[in-house]
Each structure stands twice: as C-alpha cells, then as structure tokens.
Amino acid sequence: LLRSELMLAELLSDRTLAKWQESFQQRFIATLTDYLRQFSQAFAPRPVFYRSLDLYGQDATNPVLGDRGTNSYLSDPTLFDLELLALKSLVESGFDNISLILPFVRSVDEFTFCYQRLEAVGLTSYVAFQVWLMAEVPSVILLLPEYIRAGVQGIAIGTNDLTQLLLGVDREQSKFSDRGVNANHPAMQQAIAQMIATAHQHNIECCICGQAPVEHPELIEKLIQWGVDAISVEPDAVPQT
C-alpha cells in the first residue's frame, strides 16, 4: 500500500498557481511514474496498491471532515488526472501488478466520477489493473453492494478514520482509547466483520490497514477468522504483526 501524500510531499510543497503549468504537470507525471516503477519492480509479481492523493484542506475548521479524498477531485480533478496518466504509463510499459485505491470516498457518485475518468484514459480496459476503495466512511458499510455494482473490485478498511467517524472520537486524544472507545470497540468489530462478509459475498477481496492490528494485536486472530484477505501495517510493525 503506497500512500501518495508521503511519496509526493516534496513535489507538492510548492502550492503556488505555477504548479498547474504544463511544465509542472509533466514533472509530476514523470516523478510519480518513476516512483511507482521502483516499487512495482521491487515487489513484482506481488501486488502494489497506489492510494491516490488525500489532501487535507489547510484552511478547514476540521481538516478530517473537510474537502478531502475523492470529494476534492470533483472540485478540481487536475492532480487526479495526472495520477491516472502516471498509472497508465506504468501499465502500458508492462507492469501488471499495480492497482489503484481511492481514498475517503463519501458516496457512490464520487466513485462513479472517478471511475469514468479511469475509463476515459483507458485504464479500465486492462484486466490486471484493479480499482479499490478505502472503506473508512461509515456509509460504505451500508452501501458496499452499490459500490461493487458501480465497479469497485476490492476494499481496504481504513481503521483510523473509520474509528473516528463510527464512534465520534478524536483519534489523537488518547483518553478515548484508554476508555475502550477505539478500533477494538464492539461496534468496530461488527463493522469490520460485516464488510469482510459482504465483500466475499460479492467475490471481491477485503484487506485492512491502519493502526488497529498494531495497537490491538488481539484483533489479528479475529480478522483471520472473519476471512480478511490481507493485513497492511507500517514497515516497522511487520515483524510484530
């Protein structure tokens, strides 16, 4: 799982209008293509999932709930389109282990908007290239079958944001977690188990990412019992997990 914000932080640090000039766009595509090629080569034939940009609005009162994720693509799809061109360049050059995960999707309409742009550049015509969804907004729990009908081919449960939004807590305040209002909460366990079951009923994969398996290792056995297809953690946490 590749977090684009970390890969592209330096390139995006210049937030001036000049970034939309053609020279910047070409540099963006070339830089991202190079990064993705390095990861795809190193991990082949194992799958590499690129999560597209989830940029927080700096002027938002609550950045977590602001214009972020795929909703921001509706306002200005420029960067997203550049990401797709980089992915297409990689796929066209023969890499068949790279796929896309869309971040913080709030509605089926947002997903459809993104999927249509994927169709426009021709990425959906490659059988090996998959389009996944970050399941981190609670509405995904209820609407997952609709997302799948719209073209979602897999989901990655993002426990960090899902915990905040499902339980109404600030994950940066440890007092909530200390009182049991965290990713190991019964409501979270039910939500995760339900999404895994729904995904498998519709023959798509479901993995989990975020801090939950690291902070609550007792969850790992349950995740396996529920049938999770993969567990993604930060590199430092791999041996422990």
DSSP letter for each residue of 4-47? HHHHSTTGGG--SGGGGSHHHHHHHHHHHHHHHHHHHHHHTTS-
**Residues 71-93: tens digit of each pLDDT:** 999 999 999 999 999 999 999 99
* pLDDT, the chain, mean: 92
**Residues 166-192: tens digit of each pLDDT:** 999 876 777 777 777 899 999 999 999
Which amino acid appears at position 146 of this protein?
A: E
Enumerate long-range contacts of 37-43, CB under 8 Å, 24 or more apart.
Answer: 37/90, 37/93, 37/95, 39/2, 40/90, 40/95, 40/97, 40/98, 41/95, 43/97
Residues 186, 153: Cα–Cα separation, whole Å: 27
Which amino acid appears at position 161 of this protein?
A: D
How far, CA to CA in Å, does 171 sit from each of 57, 127, 162, 213? 19, 38, 10, 15
**Residues 156-172: tens digit of each pLDDT:** 999 999 999 999 987 67
Whether the link from the prior residue into 45 is cis, omega within 30° of 0, is yes
Residue 169, SS3? Answer: coil
What mean pLDDT comes out for the span 102-123?
98
DSSP state of 64: G
H/E stretch holding 176 reads: helix 174-178
Q: Would you say residue 61 has pLDDT above 80?
A: no
| pLDDT interval class at 59 (50, 70, 90) | low
How far, CA to CA in Å, does 62 sit from each of 12, 67, 208, 218? 21, 10, 25, 32
